[in-house]
Chain A
Amino acid sequence: MQPFNMRPDQLAEEMLDYSRKLGKGVENLLNADKIDAGVTPKVEVYREDKLRLYRYESPADVVQSSVPTLIVYALVNRPYMTDLQENRSTVRNLLAAGQDVYLVDWGYPDEADRALTMDDYINGYLDRCVDVIRKRHKLDKINLLGICQGGAFSLCYTSMHPDKVKNLVTMVTPVDFKTPDNMLSAWVQHMDIDLLIDTLGNVPGELLNWTFLSLKPFSLTGQKYLSMVDVLEDEDKLKNFLRMEKWIFDSPDQAGETFRQFTKDFYQQNGFLEGGVKIGDRQVDLKNITCPVLNIYAEQDHLVPPDASRALRDLTGSKDYTELSFPGGHIGIYVSGKAQKEVPPAIGKWLDERTK
């Protein structure tokens, strides 16, 4: 059968329709200069250097869990992905599920933060945030919810401070960094990380943007802008699109020394599986994690492939390990309507069952 059914007049009609959408929508685009993100009211409860620790305000009609949950986001990109807009907010849905939610915002490191190490981030900043929350609630242990690289940090933290973590939730977290489908890992194997950090100091956000766009260059740098024309006329949908666009390119620089250790120990040495990771003067051994663990991964994740996350199941010392998969991508797990209906309530239920 003839696979093409395109005539010049049809093509012209398609172009006209395209132009019509563009013409009507461009006014929305030209006016869309301020993009808001981070919608749920929150209070700053602790600050140190560029770090801020926030506590989100719970709805008045919801009974809060007695054990608070601290969200540990990655150093890459900004944590407002978890609270992007009213109908796309993991934070809001966790609150609705009765959780008392805190979040660490690492801020934007600059050249003066170049010497911050993983020890400074995990045994320093993160540990002090955990202590602040423990003290506020007069508790020995709290819940941790780590996202992506923040999940890897949470695993390291829990293995080194098991006495302070009641339940651990990891979301789209890389554990096995050398699965055959991990593009980032394949690319970094021949990179001289010491040369990179000694030269650049901090790792610029632009370098990370380039790396992430290079994972799917044709879809991420081209095709999606054509798809945008379809939503250009709808002001709300356009704002949603631009909000995502802002988040994607809002990439903080990475503190050089932390990037050095994280990339070498995990992407090159696959430290969770192979061992040998030392942070400060402590060894990271996932067998030290004995608290309940909920490991959530996305089935179509092109950044952290499912196998990279699922590897956790045999590595911890926990006798209460649960997996939850979601049919979506690395970002979709936070922003898709389906994910919002399913994932935060499931986390809330899992935590409640282990908090009573």
Chain B
Amino acid sequence: MSESAFWNEDWMKIQQSYWENWTNMSRKAMGMEPPKSPLENAMDHWWQAVSPSASDLSRDFMGKMMEQTKSYFRLAEGYFSNAQDSNNWLDAANRTVADMQSLFSNSLEGVYNGTEFAGDDAMHKMMAFWEMPMDNWQRMVSSLSLMPGDLLRNIPHQDGLERFLSAPGLGYMREEEGQYKKLTHAVVNYQRNLGEYMKFFSSLGLLAANRMKEKVQEVAESGQQIDSARGLYDLWVSSSEEVYGEQVMTPEYAKIHGSLVNSLMKLKQRLGHVVDETLGGLNMPTRRELRTLQDRLQESRREAKAMRAEIELLKEQMIELRSMATTQPKPAVEEVTAKPKATAKKRATPKKKAAIKKAQPKADAS
């Protein structure tokens, strides 16, 4: 069986059969307990089969899409589980938003207690949607460091540790000890700022849930209807994006963002010092030395380029002068024959000048 045939026929048959069964079950299940996360099971199963044969580009790409697909249907699943217990849409919507709010509160507490919510229900996973800015940050940090991005996320920061770190070092190793204390201090500081950043986003989730509720109300008042999971998902995205856009423009966020980036840079700088110390000890070139060389080299190249440009300009001027000289009208024949005389005159000129110069003092004296 060719790979192509598998994708075009067999896989589709399996999918068709799976979804038809699920549809039948869902129909029967009106008022009964719905199948638990069928979409997610199907997607996971499918993705496990597909991903090994995908190229790096496709795998990364499809992985992102799988996550979004799950969020997309989880939202509808969350609403359905509430709608089954209520005949009133408003009540179901309110309960859905209340679930969202509760989960955001839990995850907020989890950030500080180091016990992030471990539930696996559809609604909680949908809430992970709001970890996307955080996830982006972690990916970026990972790309800048040998450490995984979330290594520092759950380290508790303690006042006692900071107090210990601020104590002066003693004895022969005090300088080295000082370096490591500064490094640990930078870790604690970064972790604190990361916590502030996460706290900020956790509170935004609550606001987004409320905005979603308002938007649902607007839809009801306008006489329109949301008739697909995708429609519901798009409403959630626009609610989240709106709230996010408003909040990240506040002075409070600008400070949190600045502190997060600055504390990460301080941490990286301290790590750089430690690495440089080690490299120096091994008699190897350090980053600091390389940068000094880069600066000096660039300065030399700048000067060399400027000089080259000047030489080019001078060459051009010379060519211009030569061409001007060659294009001047040729002297008349008589003048050519008179040239030796002219030369003689020229030769005489310096003497004349000298004579004048010499004569001047006399004139002055008189």
List chain A positions with a Cβ less than 8 A from chain B. Answer: 1-6, 8-16, 18-20, 23-24, 26-27, 29-30, 32-33, 111-112, 114-116, 120, 124, 128, 180-181, 183, 186-192, 195-196, 198-201, 204, 206-207, 209-210, 213-214, 216-219, 221-223, 225-226, 228-229, 242, 245
Query: Which of B54-62, B278-286, B319-327, B331-339 makes up part of the contact surface?
Result: B54-62
Which of A11, A116, A191, A196 has the most chain B CB within a 10 Å cutoff? A11
Shortest Cβ distance from A27 into chain B, in angstroms? Answer: 5
- In the docked arrangement, what's the CA distance between A288 and B298, Å? 30
Q: Is B254 touching A186 in the complex (CB atoms < 8 A)?
A: yes
Q: Is B61 touching A245 in the complex (CB atoms < 8 A)?
A: yes
Q: Which residues between 36 and 67 of chain B lie within 8 Å of chain A, taking CB atoms?
A: 39, 42, 46, 50, 53-55, 57-58, 61-62, 64-65, 67
Cross-chain contact of B30 among A8, A128, A186 (Cβ < 8 A): A8
Q: Is B26 touching A11 in the complex (CB atoms < 8 A)?
A: yes
B112 at the interface (CB under 8 A from A): no
CB contacts (< 8 Å) of A200 on chain B: these are 144, 265, 268
- In the docked arrangement, what's the CA distance between A1 and B302, Å? 72
Cross-chain contact of A207 among B30, B73, B144, B244 (Cβ < 8 A): B144
Q: Is A214 touching B136 in the complex (CB atoms < 8 A)?
A: yes
Q: Is A199 touching B272 in the complex (CB atoms < 8 A)?
A: yes
- In the docked arrangement, what's the CA distance between A32 and B225, Å? 38
Shortest Cβ distance from B233 into chain A, in angstroms? Answer: 7
With A218-B129, A226-B233 already in contact, the answer to whether A189 and B254 are too (CB < 8 A) is yes
Q: Is B220 touching A2 in the complex (CB atoms < 8 A)?
A: yes
- In the docked arrangement, what's the CA distance between A339 and B22, Å? 45
Q: Is A222 touching B68 in the complex (CB atoms < 8 A)?
A: yes
Chain B, 239-283, contact with A by CB distance < 8 Å: what is the 0/1 string? 011001100110001110111011001101100100000000000
Q: Is A6 touching B248 in the complex (CB atoms < 8 A)?
A: no
B98 at the interface (CB under 8 A from A): no
Q: Which residue of chain A is the closest to B65 with respect to CB atoms?
A: A225
Q: Is A9 touching B27 in the complex (CB atoms < 8 A)?
A: yes
List chain B positions with a Cβ less than 8 A from chain A. Answer: 4, 7-8, 11-12, 15-16, 19-20, 22-23, 26-27, 29-30, 34, 39, 42, 46, 50, 53-55, 57-58, 61-62, 64-65, 67-69, 71-73, 76, 79-80, 83, 89, 92-93, 129, 132-133, 136-137, 139-140, 143-144, 216-217, 219-221, 223-230, 232-234, 237, 240-241, 244-245, 248-249, 253-255, 257-259, 261-262, 265-266, 268-269, 272, 287, 290-291, 294-295, 297-299, 302, 305, 309
Q: Is A30 touching B53 in the complex (CB atoms < 8 A)?
A: yes
- In the docked arrangement, what's the CA distance between A115 and B16, Å? 59
Q: Is B7 touching A1 in the complex (CB atoms < 8 A)?
A: no
Q: Which residue of chain A is the closest to B16 with respect to CB atoms?
A: A16
CB contacts (< 8 Å) of A23 on chain B: these are 7-8, 11-12, 15
Q: Which residue of chain A is the closest to B56 with respect to CB atoms?
A: A33
CB contacts (< 8 Å) of A20 on chain B: these are 12, 15
Which of A115, A207, A217 has the most chain B CB within a 10 Å cutoff? A217
- In the docked arrangement, what's the CA distance between A294 and B4, Å? 52
- In the docked arrangement, what's the CA distance between A175 and B140, Å? 29
Q: Is B76 touching A11 in the complex (CB atoms < 8 A)?
A: yes
Closest 3 A/B residue pairs (Cβ): A190-B258, A8-B26, A115-B298
Q: Is B254 touching A30 in the complex (CB atoms < 8 A)?
A: no
With A116-B298, A189-B258, A191-B262 already in contact, the answer to whether A15 and B39 are too (CB < 8 A) is yes
Q: Which residue of chain B is the closest to A192 with respect to CB atoms?
A: B262
Q: Is B258 touching A191 in the complex (CB atoms < 8 A)?
A: yes
- In the docked arrangement, what's the CA distance between A8 and B216, Å? 19
With A3-B220, A209-B140 already in contact, the answer to whether A190 and B254 are too (CB < 8 A) is yes
Shortest Cβ distance from A206 into chain B, in angstroms? Answer: 4
CB contacts (< 8 Å) of A216 on chain B: these are 241, 245
Shortest Cβ distance from B146 into chain A, in angstroms? Answer: 14
Q: Is B11 touching A186 in the complex (CB atoms < 8 A)?
A: no
Cross-chain contact of A4 among B53, B225, B299 (Cβ < 8 A): B225
